[in-house]
């Protein structure tokens, strides 16, 4: 029987750790006895988290969409927090637009979204691999993808593409770690529609961020390679039976 992961006493890096799901992950990890390394682009939000849990939170203000954003975070962990044993790549942005309509600055906006959602997580996984590999009890990497990686929606094509890329990377990277016998758990978290500012307001019922975070941490503690959150479990089943039906469902018709 696989021993459950205990977060108590561990140091956990959470990108996007002061807002939305990331904020709930940080809070619940602290409640479970972990120390949190919170990454975010908004210093005010990070300071608020640190003040709420003195001594339990270390923060770094970084824009993961910038060319050296992930490198800066990785160097900070390597130099100041080499005892980090868990990395949760949670930070993401979602732009809702129509790419068939030209607009000024489109290339830069696309590049920035790809950098935050996919490039930075890949860079952090590889840069922090030596740190995680020497962690007592083994290291953990959790990449938060999305059900939209399976069946995309029409108005967030870049986001859907990045989440599909991150999900596939996670599978491949897991196989590479296994091949080298590295003591690292690599998990793909397939997230549902959550009640945060990431998605557009609408009539669709959204999952509470606190419950989403609890599901993620429970799945990681159980050693799961894939964590399907809430409605993504049903989407996965529909996709297995009929990919076309899943695509129609996500298109809204």
114 neighbors 157 (Cβ within 8 angstroms): no
Average pLDDT of adjacent 10-residue blocks, the chain of 253 residues: 84 97 98 98 97 96 96 98 98 91 85 98 98 96 96 93 98 98 98 86 82 98 97 93 89 65
Which residues, at least 6 apart from 162, have a Cβ–Cβ distance to it below 8 Å?
A: 92, 113, 114, 117, 118
Among residues 191, 219, 229, which one has the least CA distance to residue 86? Answer: 219
Report the pLDDT value the prediction gives residue 2, as an integer from 0 to 100.
Answer: 59
pTM: 0.94
Q: How far apart are CA 26 and CA 37, in angstroms?
A: 9
Q: For residue range 128-179, list pLDDT tens digits in order.
A: 999 999 999 999 999 999 999 999 998 899 999 999 999 999 999 999 999 9
Integer Cα distance of 197 and 180 in angstroms: 39
Residues 56-76 pLDDT 10s: 999 999 999 999 999 999 999
């Amino acid at each position: 029987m696989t021993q459950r992961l205990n977060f108590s006493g561990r140091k956990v890096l959470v990108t996007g750790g002061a807002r939305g799901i990331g904020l709930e992950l940080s809070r619940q990890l602290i409640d479970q006895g972990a120390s949190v390394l919170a990454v975010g682009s908004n210093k005010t939000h990070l300071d608020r988290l640190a003040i709420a849990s003195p001594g339990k939170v270390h923060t770094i203000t970084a824009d993961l969409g910038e060319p050296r954003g992930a490198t800066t975070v990785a160097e900070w962990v390597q130099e100041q927090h080499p005892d980090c044993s868990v990395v949760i790549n949670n930070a993401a942005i979602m732009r809702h637009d129509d790419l068939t309509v030209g607009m000024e600055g489109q290339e830069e906006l696309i590049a920035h979204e790809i950098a935050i959602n996919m490039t930075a997580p890949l860079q952090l996984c590889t840069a922090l691999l030596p740190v995680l590999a020497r962690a007592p009890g083994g290291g953990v990497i959790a990449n938060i993808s999305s059900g939209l990686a399976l069946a995309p929606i029409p108005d967030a094509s870049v986001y859907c593409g990045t989440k599909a890329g991150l999900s596939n990377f996670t599978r491949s990277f897991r196989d590479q770690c296994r091949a080298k016998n590295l003591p690292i758990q690599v998990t793909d978290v397939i997230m549902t529609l959550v009640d945060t500012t990431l998605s557009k307001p609408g009539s669709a019922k959204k999952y509470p961020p606190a419950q989403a975070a609890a599901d993620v941490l429970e799945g990681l503690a159980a050693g799961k390679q894939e964590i399907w959150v809430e409605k993504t479990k049903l989407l996965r089943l529909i996709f297995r039976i009929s990919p076309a039906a899943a695509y129609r469902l996500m298109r809204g018709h």
